[in-house]
Structure 1
Amino acid sequence: MNFLATIEPFLFWGGLIVFCVSLAMYVGRTKDMKSVLMFWQPTISFNAIEFKVNRAGLGLMILAVVMRFIVFFVA
C-alpha cells in the first residue's frame, strides 16, 4: 500500500499536466481562448488527438483519486 501512496501524487499531477497540454493543443489550433476560459459552456470541439490526450489526462487524475481512496480506506 505504501507504493500506491507514493505513486498517487505523480499520477494526479501528471494527469493535470497532460490535461493542460490538451487544452494548449486546442488553443494552438483554434486560437479560441474564450472557450477554454468559459469551460462550463460546451463550446470546445476537440479533434481526435486532442480528445484522446484530454481523456488520458482525466483518466490519470481519476485513477489517482481512486488510489487515494484505496490507500485511505483499505490501509
Structure 2
Amino acid sequence: MMYFLAVLEPILFWGGLIVFLISLGMYAGRTKDVKSILQFWQPTIVFNQLENKVNRIGLAMMIVAVVIRVTLFVML
C-alpha cells in the first residue's frame, strides 16, 4: 500500500499541474488575455464553466498529492 501511494503521489502532482496549466491555456486561447494569467495575484481571470471545472480538477489532484506526501512522511 505504501509503495502504491509513493508511486501515485508524483503522478497526481505532476498530472494535476499539467491539468491546471491546460485550464489556463484554455482561458488564454479563448480570451487572448495573457496579462491576467501573468498577474495571478489580481482577481481578473473569469473562467467559463468548463475552464473552471478543469482548473478545480487540477488543483484537487495537486492537493491530494500533497496530502499523500504528508501522510507518507508522518507514517515513515
TM-score range, shorter chain: over 0.9
d(CA) in 2 for partners of 1:43, 1:59? 22
Runs of 4+ in 1 over 3 A off after TM superposition: none
Q: TM-score, with normalisation over the residues of structure 1? A: 0.98
Structure 2 gaps, min length 5? none
Alpha carbon RMSD of aligned pairs, Å? Answer: 0.5
TM-score under structure 2 normalisation? 0.96
Q: Using the alignment, how far apart are the partners of 2:74 and 2:35 within structure 1?
A: 41
> 1: CA distance between counterparts of 2:24 and 2:16?
13
| Identity of matched residues, % | 65
Instruction: Could you tell me which runs of 5 or more consecutive residues in structure 1 were left unpaired when the two chains were aligned.
Output: none
Report whether the alignment pairs 1:29 with 2:30.
yes
